[in-house]
Amino acid sequence: MEVYRIEDLSFSFPGQQKKALSQIDLTVSSGEFITIIGKSGCGKSTLLKQLKPILAPHGVSSGTIHYKEAPLSEIDHRTQASEIGFVLQNPDNGIVTDKVWHELAFGLESLGLDGQTIRLRVAEMASFFGIQTWFHKPVSELSGGQKQLLNLASVMAMHPSLLILDEPTSQLDPIAAMEFLETVSKINRELGVTVIMTEHRLEEVLPLTDRLIVLDDGCLIADDAPRNVGKKLHAMGHPMYLSMPAPMQIYTAIETETMMHTPLPLTVKEGRQWLQGKFRYSAETSGLHDQKDGPAVKLQQPVAAEFKDVWFKYEKNGPDIIKDLSFKVQKGQFYCLVGGNGTGKSTALSLLSGIVRPYRGKVLLEGKQPASMKVRDLFHNFLGVLPQNPQSLFVKKTVELDLYEMLSDSEETMEQKKVRMDAVSAFAELEPLLSMHPYDLSGGEQQRAALAKVLLLEPTILILDEPTKGLDSFFKEKLGLFLKKLNAEGVTIIMVSHDIEFCAKYGEECSMFFDGGIVSTNTATAFFAGNNFYTTSANRMARHLWRDAVTVESVIERCQTSL
Amino acid sequence: MRRNAFTTFHPIVNFVYFTFVLVFSMAFMHPLFQAISLAGAIGYSILLNGRKAVKFNLLYMLPLLLVMAAFNPIFNHAGVTILFYLPNGNPFTRESILYGIAAACMYVTVIVWFSCFNKVITSDKLMYLFGKIMPAISLILAMTLRFVPRYRHQLSVISQAQRSIGRDLSQGNLIERARNGLRILSILTTWAMENAIETADSMKARGYGLPKRTSFSIYRFERRDQLTLSIMIGLVAIVLTGAALEENTIRYFPSVVMKEYSLFSFVVYGAYFIFCTLPVMFQIVEEVKWKYIVSKI
């Protein structure tokens, strides 16, 4: 049965000539799992919101959308609310009330159901989603992953036949994201609910997807099973192809001739099987020579930041968050701290920027303790911190004013300021965005604007906390290149991240954080080659052949030389 | 919070109980009634708060009681039994001493009952009770309780981010600090408004604004709530009958007059005693039962 029939849909925002969506034709059948991908700002969210008129933004639209045979515009608010579930991107913004149980009941209260029915549905949903253990908790005590699950559960309590999700995992860490996607898949499989979602984590979501739709600049350019879409994008040479799973990218780079006729591998498992078949005889027994290039590459450089046997806890009788942490970051290094949630990575950054002090041991930035330095000395021409949420830096109406604001207390002349401003906005490619409101920028653009603000203080050490959170692969790559460029100019970069792929690609030295300390440190390649599970998907796919092939590029290179 | 039998009752039962016990404590100045109510209040507050309640009662309530009792006869000179004359020539009467004690006792009793009220009627229960009367207000309360911790968290995030570019409240001279503080507030406001739009979307998406909204609560009115409520109403009826027959009244001025004791007055005293010590009794009964069950295993 058709759920949606979209014919020739175009949409443009008020006062804008450019169409946000143009001539979309799409049908959605009941029970399908559809994933929509595309660069940030390609119209994914706009399309999703068109599917639920109460959320549709103002603007000029043409074409028709039919929902279950009737024009969507004729569907009343009540039907829309109960049948079309919508989960937003930011888990915090979706939650309205203060208690978990109340949030679950919120939609049902709106529908005017009686107490007994609500009680039953809430109980059902809490059991289905495993919420029983935190059912009575206040929302503020939940983790990000739990919050997003709660959003999903409170929508599902209304028994929708269709679920629309707008980048639901972009604010979650990889483990919580995986769990969330599994739950969505379970809803689709076991309850038969149609799912339409936009997502950046293609590695995880593609194996679950029935149909993959690619949007580019408001146009629908591909609509097929994920493997076929992969072929199509590859044939088009489309940049979105770079965000496809690593096994697929490696496969198409090697099997250039036969790829059009064979199914592309989607998962690490499939990629591994293919590699095994292909390189059975030519595989070298590697994994030995990668031990030799330890961290001792740049030892002659002076130390930029150092932790000496640092211990830290937040409360006197509380648990130790940082336990006997010691490491050194050399000048000009690109240093990555990876590790799971709650291992103390962010606390290590707080120690580094002098927000908190250790109760034992020393934190040194070029030999000085940040917590006892004067703020002016610490943050001017020395230490730069890019916060996780770039919005917490913006003050002014436009990006340009915001950047000037950073220079407001310097004694430079207007011309000097202008020169610096121009330089930094050219560096961060902000020129076309200077007259916009910072909140109107996309996530990646906001990040760059915030980075530009921090760079105006001319830091020599730059600290980043989860800079890739919520960015799509295109913006990630851009950010990576910026950081590389800064690094080449001599800025020391210390980054905390969950994003293994990003660290493997751009990081120089990586450390694994666990239980308040560092478990292992090595150069990026050797580090990931040494891990068995905590490594990139390209490496997991190829590590039985080439242990130190960590990135997609290096696996492709190895394949080519071994052929 | 310690587990307490009375807190597990339906909010309406809790609320009705506290309403009557507070009204009675304020209305009845009869010494026996006051003693009963004070004992009930103190007993329950200790059960609820343990050592903290003992400290509170001894450290604040007892001195308050003594001071209030002492102050009344100094300023109040009504009454027929004159004990002596104050240096300024005003009489110091027995009635005013007694009245002082009674008034102080009433005051303290009400405060202690309120401290119990605060523990038992949590924000959840209060919201439920409000929701019964005005559903819209109850939702606003719930949303406020959601936003307050959220804003507080965001404020610390912003303040930390600003600190890392040298613009925190703790940095610079007084004027700079004030400016930084305002800047942080302005960022918070912008952020809050931006995000409120999405929250509004989330509400609309889940049908907020449809007519005939209901208000759900996790509280269920069980049989034991019914039973307890009827017992309470029975006791209240007896006490009120007593009040109508002036069993509970006392006259202090010009001379102390109470009604003579009769069989019925003991019935009223008994009912009031049971009523005031209900929460304590529930707790004791539950604990005894529990011990019994455990001992059987």
For residues B10-21, average pLDDT: 94
pLDDT above 90 for A316? no
pLDDT classification of A297: cutoffs 50, 70, 90: low
pLDDT above 90 for A180? yes
Residues of A in Cβ contact (< 8 Å) with B150: 92, 140
CB B95 within 8 A of CB B79: yes
Q: What is the 3-state secondary structure (H, E, C) of A476-488?
A: HHHHHHHHHHHHH
Alpha helices in A31-143 (DSSP H): 44-50, 77-83, 91-94, 100-111, 115-128
pLDDT tens by residue, A78-88: 999 999 999 99
For residues B173-194, average pLDDT: 88
pLDDT classification of A510: cutoffs 50, 70, 90: very high
For residues A509-521, average pLDDT: 90
Q: What is the pLDDT of residue B1?
A: 46
B10: containing domain: 6-126+243-296
Please name the member of A98, A353, A375 whose beta carbon is closest to the beta carbon of B171. A375
CB A279 within 8 A of CB A545: yes
Please name the member of B154, B212, B216 whose beta carbon is closest to the beta carbon of A118. B216
- The residues, any chain, with a CB within 8 Å of residue B237's CB and separated by 6 or more, are none
Tell if the CB–CB gap between B198 and A90 is shorter than 8 Å: yes
Residues of A in Cβ contact (< 8 Å) with B186: 395
Q: What is the pLDDT of residue A198?
A: 94
Q: What is the 3-state secondary structure (H, E, C) of A268-283?
A: HHHHHHHHHHHCCCCC
Tell if the CB–CB gap between B195 and A119 is shorter than 8 Å: no
C-alpha gyration radius of chain A: 25
For residues A528-557, average pLDDT: 88
Residue B221 within a domain: no
Residues of B in Cβ contact (< 8 Å) with A102: 142, 216
Tell me how crowded residue A324 is: count the other CB atoms within 10 A of its CB: 15
Tell if the CB–CB gap between A155 and B171 is shorter than 8 Å: no
pLDDT tens by residue, A358-398: 999 999 988 888 888 887 788 888 888 998 888 888 888 89
Q: Name the domain count of chain B.
A: 1
| Residue A120 at interface with chain B, using a CB cutoff of 8 Å | no
Tell if the CB–CB gap between B204 and A379 is shorter than 8 Å: no
- The residues, any chain, with a CB within 8 Å of residue B156's CB and separated by 6 or more, are none
The single-letter code of the amino acid at A494 is: I
Residues of B in Cβ contact (< 8 Å) with A98: 142-143, 145-146
**φ and ψ of B167, to 5 deg:** -135, 50
pLDDT classification of A300: cutoffs 50, 70, 90: low
> Minimal Cα distance from A104: which residue of B?
B216
Please name the member of A78, A384, A391 whose beta carbon is closest to the beta carbon of B207. A78
Q: Rounded to the nearest 10 degrees, how much is the dihedral formed by the CA atoms of B83, B89, B95, B99? A: -130
pLDDT classification of B2: cutoffs 50, 70, 90: low
Q: What is the residue-averaged pLDDT of chain A?
A: 88
Interatomic CA distance for residues A548 and A290, integer angstroms: 6
Percentage of residues of chain A with pLDDT beyond 70: 96
Please name the member of A82, A112, A391 whose beta carbon is closest to the beta carbon of B191. A391
pLDDT classification of B241: cutoffs 50, 70, 90: very high
Residues of B in Cβ contact (< 8 Å) with A54: 204-205
| Residue A105 at interface with chain B, using a CB cutoff of 8 Å | yes
Q: What is the pLDDT of residue A290?
A: 46
The DSSP output letter for A388 is S
pLDDT above 70 for A293? no
pLDDT classification of B52: cutoffs 50, 70, 90: confident
pLDDT classification of A301: cutoffs 50, 70, 90: confident
Q: What is the pLDDT of residue B106?
A: 93
For residues A542-558, average pLDDT: 88
pLDDT classification of A353: cutoffs 50, 70, 90: confident
Residues of A in Cβ contact (< 8 Å) with B181: none
Tell if the CB–CB gap between A82 and B207 is shorter than 8 Å: yes
For residues B62-76, average pLDDT: 87
B96: nearest Cα among B84, B108, B81: B81
Reading the block at residue A57, the tokens are: 């933004």
Residue B65 within a domain: yes
pLDDT above 50 for A356? yes
Q: Lowest-pLDDT range, A391-405, B91-105, B164-178?
A: B164-178
pLDDT tens by residue, B184-205: 899 999 999 988 999 999 999 9
Q: Measured between alpha carbons, how far apart are the two ends of chain B, in Å?
A: 27
Residue B199 within a domain: no
Residue B285 within a domain: yes
Please name the member of A54, A95, A158 whose beta carbon is closest to the beta carbon of B204. A54
Interatomic CA distance for residues A163 and B109, integer angstroms: 56
Interatomic CA distance for residues A513 and A323, integer angstroms: 11
Every domain of chain A and the residues it spans: 2-233, 301-544
Interatomic CA distance for residues A336 and A329, integer angstroms: 10
Tell me how crowded residue A284 is: count the other CB atoms within 10 A of its CB: 12
Q: What crossing angle do the helices spanning B174-205 and B135-163 adopt, rounded to 10°?
A: 140
Reading the block at residue B108, the tokens are: 């303290």
Interatomic CA distance for residues A380 and A374, integer angstroms: 10
pLDDT above 60 for B63? yes
Helix, strand, coil % over all residues of chain A, rounded to 5: 45, 20, 35
Q: What is the pLDDT of residue A287?
A: 45
- Tokens 């559809």 label which residue? A34
Tell if the CB–CB gap between B161 and A393 is shorter than 8 Å: yes
Tell if the CB–CB gap between B183 and A395 is shorter than 8 Å: yes
A516: nearest Cα among A358, A368, A331: A358
Residues of B in Cβ contact (< 8 Å) with A352: none
| CATH of the structural domain A2-233, one choice from 3.30.1490.20, 3.90.1420.10, 3.40.50.300, 1.10.1040.10 | 3.40.50.300
Residue B144 within a domain: no
pLDDT above 50 for A291? no
Percentage of residues of chain B with pLDDT beyond 90: 37
Residue B33 within a domain: yes
Helix (H) or strand (E) holding A87: strand A84-87
Give me the residues of A, 269-328, that contact B with CB < 8 A.
Answer: none
Question: A384: exposed, middle or buried (C-beta count within 10 Å: 0-12, 13-18, 19+)?
Answer: buried
Please name the member of B165, B206, B208 whose beta carbon is closest to the beta carbon of A155. B206
Q: How far is A238 from chain B (nearest CA, A)?
A: 32
3-state secondary structure of A450: helix
Residue B63 within a domain: yes
User: What's the CA angle centered on A32, arms A30 and A34, to 5 degrees?
Assistant: 130
pLDDT classification of A106: cutoffs 50, 70, 90: very high
| Residue A377 at interface with chain B, using a CB cutoff of 8 Å | no
- Tokens 């990139």 label which residue? A536
> Minimal Cα distance from B164: which residue of A?
A385
pLDDT above 60 for B127? yes
Chains A, B: CB contacts under 8 A, how many? 159
pLDDT tens by residue, B261-286: 888 889 999 999 999 999 999 999 99
Residue B234 within a domain: no
For residues B61-90, average pLDDT: 86
Residue B44: C-alpha distances to residues B112, B116, B287 (Å): 9, 7, 14
Q: What is the pLDDT of residue A281?
A: 59
Q: For domain A301-544, is the CATH number 3.40.50.300?
A: yes
> Minimal Cα distance from B209: which residue of A?
A110
Give me the residues of A, 41-80, that contact B with CB < 8 A.
Answer: 52, 54-55, 77-78, 80
Residues of A in Cβ contact (< 8 Å) with B164: 353, 379, 383-385, 387, 454
Please name the member of A90, A97, A395 whose beta carbon is closest to the beta carbon of B142. A97
Q: Which residues pair with A28 in a beta bridge?
A: A4
For residues A544-560, average pLDDT: 88
Q: What is the pLDDT of residue A299?
A: 56
Q: How far is A234 from chain B (nearest CA, A)?
A: 36
Q: How far is A387 from chain B (nearest CA, A)?
A: 6
Interatomic CA distance for residues B250 and B98, integer angstroms: 11
Q: What is the pLDDT of residue A408?
A: 78
pLDDT classification of A530: cutoffs 50, 70, 90: confident
pLDDT above 70 for B54? yes
**φ and ψ of A558, to 5 deg:** -60, -40
pLDDT above 70 for A285? no
pLDDT above 90 for B39? yes
